[in-house]
Amino acid sequence: MISLFDIFKVGIGPSSSHTVGPMRAARRFIDGLDVELDVHHIKVTLYGSLAWTGLGHATDTAVVLGLAGEAPDTIDPDQAEGIVAAITTAGMINVRGRQVRFAPASDVLFDYETIPPVHPNTLQFRALDEHEAIVASARYCSVGGGFIVPENVAETTSYTLPDMPHDFADGAQLLARTAETGLSIARIVLANESALRPAHEVEAYLDLIIDTMMGCIERGLTQRGALPGKLKVRRRAAALHEKLQRNTLQNQRSPHEVMDWVSLFAIAVNEENAAGGRVVTAPTNGAAGVIPATLRYYRDFCPGASREGMRDFLLTAAAIGGLFKLNASISGAEVGCQGEVGVASSMAAAGLASVLGANPLQVENAAEIGMEHHLGMTCDPIGGLVQIPCIERNAFGAVKAINAASLAMHGDGEHHVSLDQVIRTMAETGRDMNHRYKETSLGGLAVNFPEC
């Protein structure tokens, strides 16, 4: 089982694999340095997708912040720019109380030629002495959703399942546990999480995730101006929000108004993500708007919605996200956007169905439908920025999630294609997908849109 504490992580934008993961890796490298080492200089090399889209995803900035001791879940996004500027100006960085030479412009290297042997998101750290000899080094793979793994173990990484009251490693086993116990998927996950830590900590973490998601939507609804980067994409959420409010006041509501609100919620989150704001990896930053938008839909538009229901939504979604992470991938650089927005839509569909009264078979069906209609989706961000088509893609992922939950609940749970089969298909499709369509900005919209 992969914990909901891993599936849902508080961080900053614009990317879980290209921002959150590299920041965590840099922090881990610094924290692991022996204090007795004679370190005078730090160098970092970005490979593969981290090199190709690193500038657009602020990977270099994330590395600088991590080396400075910052963490994605605690850093103040409004302070990040100042921290990086101070280090850039000084050409030095404080490493555990000692000033070490580090000039981001020359010491964060983008290697576009070397093909990383294990994972397309690979980065290397080197600590050098006064003679430029290496005294410590480490290589990490950022494998999606903010997860990082040392390269030397990434290829053979397996997840050891701790002793759980209701262990499961695939959808069939999850359904079997619900049948054996009579518990919902949410109660299964809660029991497992409570075996790892006190139940009140699990509840508090769920509330933190809910509040962060809702807070991100609220902030996104008020911000205006252009998003960072050369595309100069203008934020739309605030104006759309005002228009929907005005239509309500003037009784000019359209038949598809609810769909507009869902799209608005997703756009608000992903504009915040693109601007480097505080978001929740759900399960990634690139797909950070799907689950909050669907959760907000439940809260604002579904009769009987409650805080407890919102918690159950996330518990159920975490179970589905864990299955994709365990048996396939949630990395756009590994399997394309089907592993990001597709997985998020599947998670959201399951979560929504569960809190609307679906039985476990219907919940599993909703998750399957949510992914089935994202199979083959490429990751082709224009300019390497998590903006076009990523922001709107989250809106569509949320709408699809609601539709998937509805379709599943109109049935009895019986269906031909299982969630396990669609997860396996997604993994196989990702392996067969040309590398240009997996977060490199070397194919698709990224090369067919004239940037200037």
DSSP code string of 151-211: HHHHTT---PPPP-TT--SSHHHHHHHHHHH---HHHHHHHHHHHHS-HHHHHHHHHHHHH
pLDDT score for 439: 87
Q: What is the mean pLDDT of residues 149-161?
A: 67
pLDDT score for 35: 87
Following DSSP, what letter does each residue of 29-85 receive, concatenated?
HHHHS-TTS---EEEEEEEHHHHHSTTTTTHHHHHHHHHTT--TTTS-HHHHHHHHH
The closest alpha carbon to 413, from 338, 349, 360, 341, belongs to 360
How far apart CA 117 and CA 111 sit, in angstroms, is: 14
Lookup result for tokens 């609307």: 356
The continuous run of DSSP H or E covering 109 comes out as: strand 108-111
Q: By percentage, how much of the chain surpasses pLDDT 90?
A: 90
pLDDT score for 451: 56
The closest alpha carbon to 381, from 48, 103, 53, belongs to 53
Whole-number average pLDDT of the chain = 94
Residue 452 DSSP label: -
Residue 452 has pLDDT above 50, yes or no: no
Please say whether the dihedral angle defined by the alpha carbons of residues 126, 45, 14 and 103, taken in this order, is positive or negative: positive
Global pTM value = 0.92
The continuous run of DSSP H or E covering 446 comes out as: helix 445-448
Q: What is the mean pLDDT of residues 283-299?
A: 97
How far apart CA 284 and CA 270 sit, in angstroms, is: 11
Residue 346 has pLDDT above 80, yes or no: yes
Q: What is the pLDDT of residues 366-420, one digit of tens each?
A: 999 999 999 999 999 999 899 999 999 999 999 999 999 999 999 999 999 999 9
Single-letter residue type at 327: N
Residue-range domains of the chain with CATH: 13-150 (3.30.1330.90), 171-437 (1.10.4100)
How far apart CA 156 and CA 136 sit, in angstroms, is: 23
